[in-house]
Structure 1
Amino acid sequence: MGRIAGADDLHISPFREDGFTYGTPTWIWSVAVDGSLYVRGYNGQASRWYQAAVRQKAGRITAAGMTREVAFEPVDGPINDRVDDAYRAKYARSPYLGPMIGARARAATIRITPRGAAA
């Protein structure tokens, strides 16, 4: 997922309620920490894509000209500090950085893994 992590065009599509149909692709920021890919909901846990990702636990992402079937795993704890650092490094010049490392977005952190590789 190295090329995907370095890209700035990640679109996430968790499955819809039927577990087969992909949701509408949503552009979001992504960062890598220790070889894992992480995303956050700008609107926190109220983000529709976040709610679908937590509920369905799978879907797909598109970035860097690639489409991958993936699993979604909500995370919390100390990893969030490292995800914050990765956001600071990748998006330092964005006016949206503050909210993305704030409590609301931190509460909606998801680790993305290739389908079948989730912990």
Structure 2
Amino acid sequence: NGHWFRGTQESHQGWIRAGGVQRDVAFEHANHDLEGEIDVAYRTKYRRYAGKILNSVLTPEARSTTIKLVPRSTGP
């Protein structure tokens, strides 16, 4: 596990910036019922990569590291 991921597991909160949006977020366990849908999204987005690379993110170990980002309230 990388440094960033370990930090999510220790603090369970952080800050992200993506697509022009900046948010304080909580890191929660992902709903494993969605693994099939997530796999399809990975296969669609990364289909141009070699199978070895793509398949590395579709393993049970990789799935166990999937987290859900939940916006946190920043106001009163």
TM-score (norm 2): 0.74
Greater C-alpha radius of gyration = 2
Q: 3-state DSSP class of the match of 1:112? A: strand
- Which amino acid letter does the alignment assign opposite residue 115 of structure 1? R
Change (3 A) 1:65 1:55: same
Q: Which of 77, 82, 107 in structure 1 is aligned with 2:64?
A: 107
TM-score (norm 1): 0.51
Residue segments in structure 1 that go unaligned for 5+ positions in a row:
1-45
CA distance in 1: counterparts of 2:6 and 2:17, whole angstroms: 19
Q: Are 1:76 and 1:107, in contact at CA under 8 Å, matched by a contact in 2?
A: no
Paired residues in the alignment total 71
Change (3 A) 1:61 1:94: farther
Which residue number corresponds to residue 36 of structure 2?
81
Higher helix share: 2
Residue segments in structure 2 that go unaligned for 5+ positions in a row:
none
Q: CA RMSD in A?
A: 1.8
- Structure number with greater CO (CA < 8 Å, separation at least 6) is 2
CA deviation vs aligned residue, 1:48-99 (integer Å, no higher than 9, x gap): 2222112211101111222211111122532222211111122221233211
